[in-house]
Amino acid sequence: MKKLIYSLLLGFAAVSCTKELTEDPKGLLASNTALNTLPGLQTAIVGAYKPLKDGYNSGFGSAALDAVVMGSDDLTTHPSSNKQELREMDQFAVNSTNSRIYVIWLGCYKAIQNANAIIDNYEKVGNTAEIKQIGGEAYFIRAYSYFWLTRLWGNVPIISSSTYTSSLLSVSKSDPATIYKLIESDLKNAETLMGNTKPAAGRVNAGAAKAVLAEVYLTEAGWPLKDASKYQLAAAKAKEVIDNSAKYGFDLVPNLATLWSGTTTSNNTVEDVFTLQFCSSCGNPSTLNGKSSMADPEESGWADYCAEVTFYNNFPDGIRKDLTFQSVFTKPNGTTVTWQNSTIRHPFFKKFRVNTPTPNFATSSTDQSVKLLRYAQVLLTYAEAQARSSAAPSTDAYAAVNRIRTRAGLPNLAAGLSSAAFADAVVQERAWELAGEYTRWFDLQRLQKVEQANANKAPDDLKPVGPIKYWLPIPYKDVQINTGL
C-alpha cells in the first residue's frame, strides 16, 4: 500500500496497481532489495531511463515534448482540428487537466523515483568503476528531470529518497533556488562518478554531465534566479567539455545532411551529447519524429507541430534552412503544393522528417532518436556565457560560434562586437541552429523575451489569448492527491 500511495503521488493516479504492474513493469523498480547486486543495478539503470521515453505514456517520446515548449517563436501547431491541448501552450491558456503536460510531469517524476532507488543503494553493492558509472547516471537522470520540471513548472516538490514516509502525501513545493542546488549537486556527483565513455547508445558519460551543468549555470544566470555570477561558471564548464571533447567522444558532424538524414544513420553521431534511443520493433517507438506527427495534412499528416511563419521567414537562407524546413509537400496523388498554398499555410520541420521506403507513407512511430543535447549547443553555450561574463568576447568564443556558422554556410560573425552584441548574436544563432529542438522556449524564458517574441508573430500564427505565463499549472491529478500542492 505504501508503494502504491508513493506511486500515486508521483503521477500514477490514472492507473490501478494491477494495471501498472501488468502493463509497465520495466518503468517501475520493484524494491530496493532488487538493487543489492551488480546485475540488479545494471537492469535498474536501463529502467531508470525508460520513463523519459515511454511513447505516449510518459516522457519525451511524443508531441508532448513540443507542446510544453510551444510558447516560443519557433514552434506552433494546427490552428484548428483536434490540437486544442497543443494550442493551449501556444496561446498561454493551459488547463491543469491538459494531458500533454501530464506526460512530461509523469515521465520526469517516474525517472526521479527510479533514480532515487539506485542512488540509495548503489554504494552498498561495491566501489567498482561500473557501479560508480551506474550511480553517476542515476544522479544525472534525477538532475536532468528536475531541470525540466523547474523550468516548466517553477516551484515543484523535491522527492530525493526512495523511502516512503507519510509526509509524502502532503509534500510541499520547493522554490527554484532550492531545486537548482539539488540539480547542481547531482550533476557534480555525476561528472565525478561516471567515466569518459558512454556505456551504450542512449546512456551518458562524464562529458554529458558537464555539458548539462553548463546549461544549468547558463539558466541560473537568467530568470528567475538572475545570478549573473553563474555566467562565468557556465563558460568554464562548457569550455571544459570543449577542451576535452575528444576524450568524451564529442564533435560536430561535418555535414548537416548526415545529422538530419531522416534515417537511423542520424542516430548515435559524435554530436549527440544526450539522446533518447527508440526501437519500434522492440515495442518502444518514438511518435515525436514520425512523419504523421510533423507532416502537413496535404501529406496525410497530423500537423502536431510545425514552424512559425515569422521564424521561418527570418531564418538565414542556405543549406541549414534547406535541411531544417520542409516547404513543399507531396500529396498522395503525386502533385505538390508549397507551404503558402497548403491547408494550414505553415512550413514543417524537415530535420526531424523520417525518410521511409514508401514515398508519402505517413509513419506514426519510428526508431529515430530524440536529440536532447548536441555538441553544437555546448559550443554556443560557451560563446554566450563567456561574452556575458567578460569585458569582451574572447577569440575562443568567436571560434566556437563560427564553427557553427561555417557548417551552416554563413560568414563569420563580425569582429569587434561588444560583449552584449556578441551575446545577442549567439542567442540568435542558438535559435537557428537548434530550431525546433526544445531549447528556444527556455532561452526566451531565461532572457525574459517571451513577450517580445510573441509580439512579432505573423498573422497566420497563433497569438496569446491571455496573460503570458512562464510556468505551467501543476497537473490536476497530482493536485487532487497531494494537499501540499
Name the residue among 191, 178, 65 with its Cα closest to residue 140: 191
401 falls within a domain: no
Confidence category of residue 291, pLDDT binned at 50, 70, 90: low
Whole-angstrom distance, CA of residue 351 vs CA of residue 319:
12
Mean pLDDT of 378-383: 98
Mean pLDDT highest for which of 158-172, 264-278, 423-437?
423-437
Which of the two residues, 287 and 22, has the higher pLDDT score? 287
Whether residue 360 is contained in a domain is answered as: no
> Residue 237: what pLDDT?
98
pLDDT-derived band at 363, boundaries 50, 70, 90: low
What is the rounded CA–CA span in Å between residue 297 and residue 287?
Answer: 17
pLDDT of residue 402: 98
Reported as half-sphere exposure (CB side, CA atoms, 13 A), residue 238 has a value of: 30
pLDDT at 485 over 90: no
322: pLDDT strictly greater than 90: yes
Parent domain of 63 = 2-204+219-226
Closest CA to 270 of 247, 240, 286: 247
Q: What is the pLDDT of residue 161?
A: 86
pLDDT, residue 4, reads 32
- Give the model's confidence band at 419: pLDDT under 50 very low, under 70 low, under 90 confident, else very high: very high
Res 190: pLDDT: 98
Q: State the pLDDT at residue 33.
A: 63
Give the mean pLDDT of 402-425.
Answer: 97
At residue 441, the pLDDT reads 98
Q: What average pLDDT score do residues 123-130 get?
A: 96
Asked if the bond preceding 224 is cis, omega within 30° of 0, the reply is: yes
Provide the pLDDT for residue 1. Answer: 31
402: buried, middle or exposed (CB in 10 Å: 19+, 13-18, 0-12)? middle
Question: Out of 53-57, 307-311, 352-356, which region has the weakest mean confidence (pLDDT)?
Answer: 352-356
In a domain, 405, yes or no: no
Residue 229: pLDDT band with limits 50, 70, 90 = very high
Domain assignment of residue 364, yes or no: no
What's the pLDDT score for residue 364?
Answer: 60
Query: Count of domains in the chain?
Result: 1
Residue that wins the pLDDT comparison between 451 and 367: 451
* pTM of the complete model: 0.92
Region of poorest pLDDT, from 52-66, 302-316, 381-395, 465-479: 52-66
**How much of the chain, in percent, has pLDDT values that exceed 90?**
73
Cell (9 digits) for 437: 529542438
pLDDT at 31: 53
Nearest CA among 79, 96, 348, 400 for reference residue 235: 400
Phi, psi of 443, deg, nearest 5: -65, -45
> Is the residue at 474 inside a domain?
no
Q: Is the pLDDT of residue 19 over 70?
A: no
| Mean pLDDT on 401-408 | 98
Poorest-confidence range of 23-37, 46-60, 158-172, 449-463? 23-37
**Is the per-residue pLDDT at 125 higher than 60?**
yes
Task: Check: CB of residue 365 under 8 Å from CB of residue 352.
Answer: no
| Chain segment 206-228, per-residue pLDDT in tens | 999 999 999 999 999 999 999 99
Nearest CA to 482 out of 202, 213, 109, 119 is that of 109
> How much is the pLDDT for 332?
87
Q: Domain for residue 269, yes or no? A: no
Calculate mean pLDDT across residues 105-111. Answer: 96
> What was the pLDDT predicted at 360?
41
Residue 87 lies in a domain: yes
Per residue in 323-358, pLDDT tens?
A: 999 999 999 899 999 999 999 999 999 998 776 544
% of the chain exceeding 70 in pLDDT: 88
24 CA to centre of own chain: 23
Q: What residues have CB less than 8 Å from 175, skipping those under 6 apart?
A: 154, 155
Residue 24 is predicted with a pLDDT of 39
CATH of the domain at 21: 1.25.40.390
Q: pLDDT value at position 17?
A: 29
Cα distance between residue 190 and residue 205, in whole Å: 8
What's the pLDDT score for residue 300? 83
Q: How confident is the model at residue 482 (pLDDT cuts 50, 70, 90)?
A: confident
In a domain, 173, yes or no: yes
- Mean of per-residue pLDDT scores for the chain: 89
Whole-Å CA distances, 251 to 126, 213, 485: 34, 18, 43
C-alpha–C-alpha distance, residues 217 and 228, integer Å:
9
* 3-state SS class at 264: helix
Q: What is the mean pLDDT of residues 177-193?
A: 98
